[in-house]
């Protein structure tokens, strides 16, 4: 009997020892964030105290006590001291090449009259001609909606101060520019030059002579002659921009990249200096075989390519956004379509058939209808798939088109910061009826549409918090109007953060990898100096980034370095 009992106990102990041996060892974290208010943006919108990170991935989330089990002898522990954290921001719409050029161009964003433009151009020209007589003066950022009389600068306004050297100045939206007489001469533009397809050369109604205003594709007639920045200068600008991203908590961006920007980004990645994920866009009208090669070449975690970007219309500020009914403040104007519906359908059909995601720039209600119609036709003829086609901007919508986004699986890639200034004049331009469904974030979200937020920098401020503030208040930075501009289209702060993180990741097919703070996903995190979910909306404009973390590494800190313990 005793022998039998001894054998039973021995067997039990052996089973226990075997089970213990088979038990997986607890993984050791490389970094733990503790004592925080961490908004995960997961399906349950959980808020947790702590995150355990191993390498570049999130190991686990939970309470401080739960995460303590992952601490090892070499684990770094960052005490957030109650600070708010969320996934790193993903700017779903940014213009990297244009921003690089901006670093070398005359900044006209702060001017308030045509006279100010003239003075600024004259000062820059005086600097340029010391080393390069006859060199180009290139600028960007003018906005006639801020000037007395709302008049656009013309060729004669510039020629009065600089006529012997070329001048080319883009409007803030990038869809209109003014060129002086010398620039028009270099481009061969005169009264006999026809409007290019998708563009317009604005002319003096009395003489037929170009007045210097070039809209949409007409700008390309001059742009082809602009001197490009050197690789060294462009690299310096991109490095400066990456520093700004780190300071603002931006860990991913999406947008067009030219060949020079692609080359620089690849070089920075090789030398471990690329501190954000980049999703590069290619032109919709490009050769598809070339686009396929580019897509195959860039398929990594840090740099990827895939979306084909097309343009249907222009901008609201320049009255080149395509509308069904004329502009309320310009009854003879309906905007400008850059292509016909048939041409658009053909491009989208071909791209969709080859498995490409398509993003279409559409501002006006007519342009948005065209985009939705093209996507619907592609779905009917090519079959349903998880295409995640996007409309970039989606600013002015016919009420009947709002539910079509969700029905067709089209993402609304929007930039709330545009509303920050547009609300001052958009109702005058559109009329009250159309304004009700302009920047319709809430109606789109309520209909089940995925919102992906970005900035459209350099056409709008780079700081995501400005966009989030605008989305939740629909007021300008001074707090006007107090009740918000068509406040029924506001969304909550949590929704706005989701659109800047998980929504943007969904829009580029990377939501399984990033966009929320869940085990297995990339540890891309931004920590703020105040709780974004609990402060008054106006205080969002004063919030600052305390830390930015990319792939488990702290790449920016605004606080002393002795906050991390081993």
For residue range 305-317, list pLDDT tens digits in order.
989 999 999 999 9
- Strand 137-142 vs strand 106-107: parallel, antiparallel, or unpaired? parallel
The partner residues of 31 in beta bridges, in order of sequence, read 53, 76
Q: What is the pLDDT of residues 363-411, one digit of tens each?
A: 999 999 999 999 999 999 999 999 999 999 999 999 999 999 999 999 9
8 A C-beta contact, residue 452 and residue 414: yes
Q: Would you say how long the chain is, in residues? A: 566
Output the pLDDT for position 130. 86
Q: What is the pLDDT of residues 198-207, one digit of tens each?
A: 899 999 999 9
Tell me the average pLDDT across 517-523: 99
Output the pLDDT for position 229. 82
Q: What pLDDT band is residue 212 in, cutting at 50, 70 and 90?
A: very high
pLDDT at 13 over 50: no
Q: What is the pLDDT of residues 442-467, one digit of tens each?
A: 999 999 999 999 999 988 999 999 99
Residue 256 token pair: 């067009």
User: Quick one: which of 140, 138, 145 has its CA closest to 113?
Assistant: 145
pLDDT at 543 over 70: yes
Cα separations in angstroms, 428 against 295, 369, 413: 43, 22, 25
Tell me the C-alpha distance between 475 and 468, whole Å: 11
Cα separations in angstroms, 212 against 176, 353, 476: 10, 41, 32
What domains can you pick out in the chain, each with its CATH number?
Answer: 26-82+520-566 (2.30.40.10), 105-223 (3.10.310.70), 231-511 (3.20.20.140)
Evaluate the CA torsion angle 404, 406, 410, 415 in order and state its sign.
positive
pLDDT at 2 over 60: no
pLDDT at 10 over 60: no
Q: Quick count: other Cβ atoms within 10 Å of Cβ 477?
A: 14
- Strand 390-393 vs strand 357-362: parallel, antiparallel, or unpaired? parallel
Residue 186 token pair: 């270099």
Q: What pLDDT band is residue 565 in, cutting at 50, 70 and 90?
A: low
The answer to whether the peptide bond before residue 515 is cis (omega within 30 degrees of 0) is no
Backbone angles phi and psi of 190, in degrees to 5: -140, -170
Tell me the C-alpha distance between 176 and 51, whole Å: 47
């Amino acid at each position: 009997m005793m022998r039998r009992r001894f054998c039973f106990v021995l067997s039990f102990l052996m089973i226990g020892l075997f089970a213990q041996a088979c038990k997986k060892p607890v993984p050791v974290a490389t970094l733990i964030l503790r004592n925080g208010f961490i908004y995960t943006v997961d399906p349950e919108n959980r808020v947790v105290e702590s995150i355990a990170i191993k390498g570049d991935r999130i190991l686990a989330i939970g309470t401080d006590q739960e995460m303590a089990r992952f601490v090892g002898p070499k684990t770094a522990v960052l005490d957030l001291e109650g600070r708010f954290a969320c996934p790193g921001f993903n700017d779903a719409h940014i213009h990297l090449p244009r921003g690089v050029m901006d670093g070398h161009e005359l900044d006209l964003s702060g001017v308030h009259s045509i006279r100010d433009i003239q003075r600024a151009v004259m000062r820059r020209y005086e600097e340029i001609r010391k080393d390069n007589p006859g060199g180009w003066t290139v600028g960007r950022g003018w906005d006639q909606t801020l000037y007395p009389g709302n008049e656009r600068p013309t060729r004669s306004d510039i020629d009065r101060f600089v006529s012997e050297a070329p001048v080319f100045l883009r409007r803030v939206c990038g869809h209109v520019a003014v060129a002086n007489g010398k620039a028009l001469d270099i481009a061969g533009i005169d009264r006999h030059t026809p409007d290019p397809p998708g563009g317009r050369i604005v002319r003096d109604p009395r003489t037929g002579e170009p007045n210097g205003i070039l809209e949409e594709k007409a700008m390309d007639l001059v742009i082809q002659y602009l001197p490009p920045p050197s690789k060294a200068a462009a690299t310096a600008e991109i490095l400066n921009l990456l520093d700004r991203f780190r300071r603002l908590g931006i860990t991913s961006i999406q947008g067009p990249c030219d060949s020079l920007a692609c080359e620089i980004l690849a070089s920075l990645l090789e030398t471990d200096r690329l501190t954000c994920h980049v999703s590069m866009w290619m032109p919709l009208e490009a050769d598809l075989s070339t686009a396929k090669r580019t897509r195959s070449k860039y398929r990594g975690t840090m740099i990827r390519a895939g979306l084909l970007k097309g343009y249907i219309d222009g901008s609201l500020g320049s009255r080149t956004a395509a509308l069904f009914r004329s502009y309320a403040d310009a009854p003879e104007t309906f905007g400008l379509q850059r292509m016909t519906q048939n041409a658009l359908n053909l491009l989208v059909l071909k791209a969709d058939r080859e498995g490409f995601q398509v993003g279409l720039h559409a501002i006006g209600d007519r342009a948005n209808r065209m985009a939705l119609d093209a996507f619907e036709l592609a779905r009917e003829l090519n079959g349903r798939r998880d295409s995640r086609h996007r409309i970039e901007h989606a600013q002015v919508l016919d009420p009947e088109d709002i539910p079509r986004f969700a029905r067709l699986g089209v993402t609304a890639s929007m930039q709330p910061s545009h509303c920050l200034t547009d609300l001052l004049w958009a109702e005058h331009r559109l009329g009250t009826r159309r304004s009700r469904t302009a920047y319709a974030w809430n109606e789109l979200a309520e209909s089940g549409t995925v919102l992906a937020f970005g900035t459209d920098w350099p056409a709008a401020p780079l700081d995501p918090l400005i966009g989030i503030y605008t989305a939740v208040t629909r007021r300008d930075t001074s707090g006007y109007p107090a009740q918000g501009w068509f406040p029924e289209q506001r969304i909550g702060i949590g929704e706005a953060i989701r659109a800047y993180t998980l929504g943007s990741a969904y829009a580029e097919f990377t939501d399984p990898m990033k966009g929320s703070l869940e085990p297995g996903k990339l540890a891309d995190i931004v920590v703020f100096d105040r709780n974004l979910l609990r402060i008054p909306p106006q205080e969002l404009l004063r919030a600052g980034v305390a830390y930015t973390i990319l792939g488990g590494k702290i790449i920016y800190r605004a606080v002393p370095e002795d906050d991390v313990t081993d």
